[in-house]
């Protein structure tokens, strides 16, 4: 077994998928806002399932692997607080951020009582929503950190640490490294890295991946005892 290899490879790959793309559900009946949130969160590295009603949420709720929910309180077919309360009763521990136009203290308290973890009043800054989501994922029941060979990847901060040192990565750099770390010691094809790091249908030039790999190598080289990204000629790259 390679010194970086994990004993349960399939479990490692499953964890890596969650690290690469933490899954967030957006429950918002305003179609325009729903589209904006979906696009923005995907650009920030989240996998997003966007729904416009409580019924649609229940129909599309994944059985596992959910990182967080963003829930509008005023829905056409239910109160968002009732939806979250029902999810909590079913055992869901995923962090929840409520969205609402009402900022009165009783409204906020009722949201927390229903199982919400945070509260944003419309209109809000998108950057604040992203920051709150990542903070909740770090604190709560969505610890998606990936560790392999002393290397730790934190999806909440897009940081990698090893030997007491830490380096900040861009979302794209993070997804590339997480894909390599999911199968340590094995060659990962260039196509697989592109699929993991860029949105479906994105035009990625041949040298673009090489540029990102070079950046990652510099950042890893600055960390004590960090593994290296090796070139596998004719195939792709490997974390060793």
Q: How far apart are CA 169 and CA 26, in angstroms?
A: 26
Q: Which residues contact 208 (CB under 8 A, 6 or more apart)?
A: none
What confidence score (pLDDT) does residue 113 get? Answer: 82
Residue 8 lies in a domain: no
Residue with tokens 């596998």: 232
Q: How far apart are CA 185 and CA 1, in angstroms?
A: 9
Domain boundary residue, one of 109, 139, 169: 139
Neighbours of 95 (CB within 10 A): 25
Q: Are residues 180 and 122 in the same domain?
A: no
Domain boundary residue, one of 139, 168, 195: 139
What range does the domain containing 157 cover? 144-239
Q: Are residues 219 and 134 in the same domain?
A: no
What confidence score (pLDDT) does residue 3 get? Answer: 41
Q: Are residues 132 and 168 in the same domain?
A: no
Q: Looking at the chain, which runs of residues are DSSP E strands? A: 23-27, 47-51, 68-72, 96-100, 118-121, 146-148, 151-154, 159-162, 165-168, 188-189, 229-232, 236-239
Neighbours of 102 (CB within 10 A): 14
**Three-state secondary structure call for residue 167:** strand
CATH number for the domain that contains residue 182? 1.10.10.10
Domain boundary residue, one of 105, 139, 173: 139
Q: Are residues 79 and 43 in the same domain?
A: yes
Residue 119 lies in a domain: yes
CATH number for the domain that contains residue 50? 3.40.50.2300
Q: Are residues 27 and 130 in the same domain?
A: yes
What confidence score (pLDDT) does residue 21 get? Answer: 67
What confidence score (pLDDT) does residue 136 get? Answer: 87
Q: How far apart are CA 25 and CA 46, in angstroms?
A: 10
What confidence score (pLDDT) does residue 9 get? Answer: 45
Which pLDDT tens digits describe the chain residue by residue (240 residues)? 334 444 344 444 444 554 556 889 999 999 999 999 999 999 888 889 999 999 999 888 876 778 899 999 989 888 999 999 888 888 888 999 999 888 777 778 788 888 899 999 999 999 999 999 988 887 754 455 778 878 988 876 788 999 999 999 988 898 889 889 888 899 999 998 988 888 667 788 889 999 999 999 999 999 999 999 999 999 999 999
What confidence score (pLDDT) does residue 144 get? Answer: 57
Q: Are residues 113 and 150 in the same domain?
A: no
**Three-state secondary structure call for residue 110:** helix
Q: Tell which residue, 192, 225, 202, has the closest CA to residue 13.
A: 192
What confidence score (pLDDT) does residue 19 get? Answer: 53
Domain total of the chain:
2
Q: Are residues 134 and 153 in the same domain?
A: no
The token pair at 26 is: 């957006």
């Amino acid at each position: 077994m390679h010194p970086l290899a994990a004993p349960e490879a399939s479990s490692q790959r499953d964890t890596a998928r969650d690290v690469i793309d933490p899954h967030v559900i957006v429950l918002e009946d305003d179609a325009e806002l729903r589209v904006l949130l979906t696009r923005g969160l995907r650009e920030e590295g989240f996998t997003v399932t966007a729904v416009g009603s409580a019924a649609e949420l229940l129909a599309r709720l994944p059985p596992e692997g959910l990182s967080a929910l963003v829930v509008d309180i005023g829905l056409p077919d239910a109160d968002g607080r009732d939806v979250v309360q029902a999810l909590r009763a079913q055992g869901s521990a995923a962090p929840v951020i409520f969205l609402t136009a009402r900022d009165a203290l009783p409204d906020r308290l009722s949201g927390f009582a229903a199982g919400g973890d945070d509260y944003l009043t419309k209109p809000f800054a998108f950057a604040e929503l992203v920051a709150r989501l990542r903070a909740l994922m770090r604190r709560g029941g969505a610890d998606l950190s990936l560790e392999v060979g002393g290397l730790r990847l934190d999806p909440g901060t897009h940081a990698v640490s090893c030997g007491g040192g830490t380096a900040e990565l861009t979302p794209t750099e993070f997804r590339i490294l997480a894909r390599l770390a999911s199968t340590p010691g094995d060659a990962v094809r260039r196509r697989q890295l592109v699929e993991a790091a860029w949105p479906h249908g994105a035009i990625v030039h041949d040298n673009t991946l090489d540029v990102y790999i070079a950046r990652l190598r510099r950042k890893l080289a600055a960390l004590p005892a960090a593994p290296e990204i090796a070139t596998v000629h004719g195939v792709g790259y490997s974390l060793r």
